[in-house]
Structure 1
Amino acid sequence: MVLRYVRRHFKPLLGIKGLWTFRHTPLAMYWAKLALKDMLVETVLKDENLPPDVTNAHWIAHVVSYAGYLAKIRYEGYDTNDDSKTHWVHFCKDLYRIGYCADNHLPIVPPLNVIQQKQEWREWIIKRVTGGYTMHALTQQLIAYDNDTQLRKGTEVEVLDKFSISRMRVGYVKEVIGHRVHVRYWDTDADDQDLSNSFWCHEQSDAINVVGWSKTVGHAISAPAGYDPAEIGNSSVIKKNPGVNIQVGMKLEAVDPLKLSAISAATVVKVLKHGYLMVHIDSAGHALTQTYRGVESDANHGNNRFCYHVTSPLIFPCGFCKENNIELQPPIEFKTDNFDWNEYFKATGAKPLPLKDLEKEVIDHGFTEGAKLEAVDVMEPNLICVATVKRVIGRLLRIGFDGWEDNYDQWADATSCDLFPIGWCQLMNYDLQPPHVENQEPGLKPVSPGVKRIKSKSGTASRSKRQSATSSSD
């Protein structure tokens, strides 16, 4: 149904053509060798093309193009100039190598109009497929290999405390789906099905770390009595400071962790070890009581400070927003229509965090404005939604959720493990939240039917954006 929405409202279908763009997803490493244009495949014949009294038949098709995990195919025997004879299917779910049906004793039957046009279709199709290339026989094994993880149910981890984002919290892995980890907090019951007592994130996310990470970098953590893990030695899980002089009070620009559509003026309030730092968001709304996931807490208790590493792609040198025509949320005490960092520094004596000295890696990521994808709603991370790339600034992306207002957008790095190609949810059997569409067609339902969006007292959009949760989250 989501695919039908995309086809109808966004023609031609816009998708990231190469899975290499999403390096954390299955088959990304091999996509260029697996997903070949004009490749011949076997696929289930759609009911409207079946001859009378034939069921569960397959036929030969060739791949016209790709969008994420989706493949546009055309049945063999159809006019190659007639685009109406093409349709989209899932590359991993709906297509099989030539020979699959013979190996599994399944009937190969052409569409009815092909039979009418080609009386000797058996001889014709044998000639057509002879010498052609088809799907790799190990495609499904490669998917299983790429989905393998070291995390197992019950593994102890340190994960972001979503009720107080200035600290981590001990948790235990509840389940893993496609490297996305469902963690329950240590002080909740193992059988508790309440999503508010657990947290979803990708295993490569900065929001989840191995036991001992917090102690090693000096980060606050909520843990059981007696929790005293050893510090982590020389390990790749601990990032390194490339030599940036970090001092308390220095200024920067940062993606607001509580309002991901905004980039705000920020201050270093604590210097941790190994280049990690605690950042205070200085814009309006963070000096007062915050509402995060429906839970009110005083700003001094942890919801206006967030840990970033100095190399994080979501923090920027002062002046980044102005250089790239992005609206900066200025410090609350210096709110003007034309905020200028130089004037601010003269007036306050503050200094910028020297991030301009850092050379952020320039990557050929393949994202373009208008491209469709599936994206985690980081404020409700059990939800993955239909989304669109709205803006591309180097490796920085603005992601919009289809059918939702701009204040629900999220800034994300091009390497973010919260972004997935079209078809990822279908591959993982994970519910994809459909777009919120006015006057929607039958079969498409908004994620929060009949629920009006509520603004908090501070003017920030309520984080209860959608009420329904994925069935996979239970």
Structure 2
Amino acid sequence: MDPVDTNGLLDSEGEALDERSNSSSQFATNPDEPTLLCERCGRQGTAATFYGKKKQYCSFSCSRPSVVAKKIQQKKNVRLPGSFDWRTMLDKVEFEAGPVSSFKFAPLSEWWARNVTVGMKVEVQNHDAPDVIQRVVYWVATIHDVKGYFVKLRYVGFDDESLDFWANLCYVQEEDTHLVDHSVHHVGWCAVHERPLVPPKTIENKTKDWRDYMVRRLTGSKTLPHNFHQVVREKLKSRFEIGMRVEAVDKTRLSSLRVAVVQKIVGRRLFVKYERMEDDEGFWFHEKSPMIHPVGWARMTGHELLSTEEYAKSSLSKALNNKFGPKDASWTLLPPIVVHEEVAAEFETTRFEVGMKLEVIDPLNLSMICVGTVFKVLRSHFLMIAVDGATSPNGSDLMCYHATSPYIFPAGFCKAAGVTLQPPHGYKKTFDWDEYLRETKSRAAPMNLFKRVLPAHEFQPGQWVEAVDLMDPKLVCVAQVTKVVDRLLRIHFEGWDDSYDQWVDCESPDIFPIGWCDMVEYILTPPNTGNGLESPVQLQTPGGAAARKKRDSGGSTGGSRNKKKRRMGRAAADGAIVKGDIRSSSGRSWSRGVVSGEVKKEVIASDDRSNLGTIEDAATSSTIEPATGPADITQTIEATPASVVEHEMKIKEEETPKLPLESWTCEQVVKYLRAQKCPGTAQAVATN
């Protein structure tokens, strides 16, 4: 019988302990016999089963003179030297962490709130073991508090908090050292793995029959499912592979894409390097970030692509025919954005047009919301947007956003939300939208194009999170939510000036519950101490040297944007785009929003793109827009690991024309668009 039933509860009759325990590995079976403790491994037993003249060893192997073990010492979290340890803050009365359930892309986010509760029982290392113990031993503990992925534990038998401690519930220790175990296990794990349960020495004399005491304490209690650690591992697995090609925003020219290759994967964050770019130190981003796209995406949408002519042609063919190489990121990994039917209905009658004005988060200063202009309209509802008064003359810092992005807003949004709107650089008057539209002889994008669904998140000002520094995305930092405006969260990096805050969507994949870095073993950058150093220590992250550039202290003005742009030019690993998904009231994900990045320095495309015009013309109406988006399938912890999978949106091969592109007729293009559920575009092509 398993230690826990399918609901994670201990057997009502204590059978988990009866059938999995014995006198030497768990509890004494006869309360009248004295209980002996093995000096080597900590197992309990009686004189009849022990070895040695003084009956101090539980087995022959423990009695051998050659067995020498180091005494266990209670250790701090030193798995990642230089990484910030949240445990220094968790006991503060005012400390509040963002709830795991509010982070859309956090592992176990949809399972957490219902299943991780105060009162649960777990098995953990006993840091208060008797002095004679020379290996790791365990004891049962109760969860008394939950903050992010951390739980506050108290050993069963204690009536006060004298030995309470915090542990990361999701940390999985892969190596069995027999000297220390940072993992938290379900009740019954020790019995299954033949590990000793030893009462803490402070309370070892509290009862003579620990077996009966524990059965009474544990019966009916809730514990973790037996496959908890396995599911955590599955939730952290990426669908991408090392060596896969993607199309990524060019960190030196935001208005362009380049071919990039995945080099490393940590907790679903990808480290990529560009092809054909010398001295590229790469950059990090989450696999759900709109900073990357599948092979062929640029040609299908009409986005600028800096690549060889050969790649441009082959990528378009692969996308149209749904035939990809083994190292190509296909559209099943990065499915097209699917617009909610209510929003799609608006797009059928009203569309964004070149020259329309709106409000947008500045991609080069993420603490600002600025006046912006639609510079170009791409296919599939993508837009190239410029920040008024601050765009480079050659358009290198235009940014691509989807029409449903949570980072673009209607004119007047900031005023209504009580947020400062940054006027165009050099604009001397007090900014007023009506007057500005008259002066520029332009019009604001219609309000009905900005329909958004507000997810039922629980983010509040004052909550602590771990957040990617999107201006240097190899860094994940200690941060706090300081303002909440509908879907938008203002993230403040502890120890840094407010001008370096970042606006992110509540469903951004670049914010995490506290404990995420500890779980995936990635360095959490400590707060700035103000001592002139980038952090208390010089950090070495998986992405390379992580020395944060000392930020300028300018305020939120047009001038500070330029300062930040120059700082980014010196950064070792640039790139930053955040995204948020629009959800329906039922919680289903409908759309991915696009958004910000940075410039390192301006480059000139080295490839010959003179012949790409014919390829772009051939794909003018070839837009891939499936009727439904990828299902947001949640996985409860009780499910088998094999079922922990994500839905794959596939482009049906039989619906894709196989004719050479140059041979397509208008009728065939219309047929293709209708097969891809794009009736509006098909009708426009047919009438033209």
Structure 1 length-normalised TM? 0.86
Does the residue aligned with 1:335 lie in a helix, a strand or coil?
coil
For residue 313 of structure 1, what is the amino acid of its counterpart?
P
- The answer to whether 1:38 aligns with 2:137 is no
**Aligned counterpart, 1:293:** none
Q: How big is the shift at 1:393?
A: 0.6
Task: Name the CA shift for 1:393/1:43 in 2 (closer, same or farther; >3 Å).
Answer: same
Percent identity reads: 36
Contact kept, 8 Å, 1:453 with 1:465, in 2: the verdict is no
**Aligned counterpart, 1:377:** 469
- The answer to whether 1:268 aligns with 2:374 is yes
**Aligned counterpart, 1:237:** 336
Contact kept, 8 Å, 1:26 with 1:143, in 2: the verdict is yes
- The answer to whether 1:417 aligns with 2:518 is no
Separation of aligned partners in 2, 1:309 and 1:90: 37
Separation of aligned partners in 2, 1:465 and 1:382: 15
Q: How big is the shift at 1:438?
A: 4.7
User: Tell me, which stretches of 5 or more residues in structure 2 are unaligned?
Assistant: 1-83, 172-182, 323-330, 540-545, 574-688
**Aligned counterpart, 2:444:** 352
CA RMSD in angstroms, aligned pairs only: 2.8
For residue 209 of structure 2, what is the amino acid of its counterpart?
E
Task: Name the CA shift for 1:389/1:350 in 2 (closer, same or farther; >3 Å).
Answer: same
Task: Name the CA shift for 1:303/1:4 in 2 (closer, same or farther; >3 Å).
Answer: farther
Does the residue aligned with 1:64 lie in a helix, a strand or coil?
strand
**Aligned counterpart, 2:362:** 256
Does the residue aligned with 1:386 lie in a helix, a strand or coil?
strand
**Aligned counterpart, 2:422:** 329
**Aligned counterpart, 2:187:** 98
Task: Name the CA shift for 1:450/1:358 in 2 (closer, same or farther; >3 Å).
Answer: closer
Task: Name the CA shift for 1:167/1:213 in 2 (closer, same or farther; >3 Å).
Answer: same
For residues 394-433 of structure 1, what are the structure 2 equivalents within 5 Å?
394-433=486-525
Structure 2 length-normalised TM? 0.60
Contact kept, 8 Å, 1:186 with 1:224, in 2: the verdict is no
Task: Name the CA shift for 1:465/1:268 in 2 (closer, same or farther; >3 Å).
Answer: closer
- The answer to whether 1:205 aligns with 2:289 is yes
**Aligned counterpart, 2:87:** 4
Q: Deviations over 1:414-435 (max 9, x none)?
A: 0000011111111111111111
- The answer to whether 1:158 aligns with 2:247 is yes
Contact kept, 8 Å, 1:239 with 1:275, in 2: the verdict is no
**Aligned counterpart, 2:9:** none
- The answer to whether 1:21 aligns with 2:102 is yes
Q: How big is the shift at 1:23?
A: 2.1
Contact kept, 8 Å, 2:472 with 2:571, in 1: the verdict is no
Task: Name the CA shift for 1:459/1:13 in 2 (closer, same or farther; >3 Å).
Answer: closer
Separation of aligned partners in 2, 1:219 and 1:170: 13
Separation of aligned partners in 2, 1:16 and 1:197: 32
Task: Name the CA shift for 1:446/1:198 in 2 (closer, same or farther; >3 Å).
Answer: closer
Task: Name the CA shift for 1:451/1:187 in 2 (closer, same or farther; >3 Å).
Answer: closer
Q: Deviations over 1:129-148 (max 9, x none)?
A: 23322111111221222233
For residues 10-159 of structure 1, what are the structure 2 equivalents within 5 Å?
10-17=92-99, 19-46=100-127, 49-54=128-133, 55-79=135-159, 82-93=160-171, 94-159=183-248
Contact kept, 8 Å, 1:269 with 1:280, in 2: the verdict is yes
Separation of aligned partners in 2, 1:371 and 1:187: 43
- The answer to whether 1:459 aligns with 2:541 is no
Task: Name the CA shift for 1:171/1:439 in 2 (closer, same or farther; >3 Å).
Answer: closer
Separation of aligned partners in 2, 1:26 and 1:132: 24
**Aligned counterpart, 1:294:** none
Contact kept, 8 Å, 2:87 with 2:166, in 1: the verdict is no
Contact kept, 8 Å, 1:239 with 1:274, in 2: the verdict is no
Larger Rg over CA atoms: 2
**Aligned counterpart, 1:290:** none
Higher normalized contact order (CA 8 Å, seq sep 6+, divided by chain length) = 2
Moved segments of 4+, more than 6 Å: 446-451, 465-469
Q: How big is the shift at 1:182?
A: 1.1
- The answer to whether 1:214 aligns with 2:307 is no
Contact kept, 8 Å, 2:303 with 2:378, in 1: the verdict is yes
Task: Name the CA shift for 1:400/1:76 in 2 (closer, same or farther; >3 Å).
Answer: same
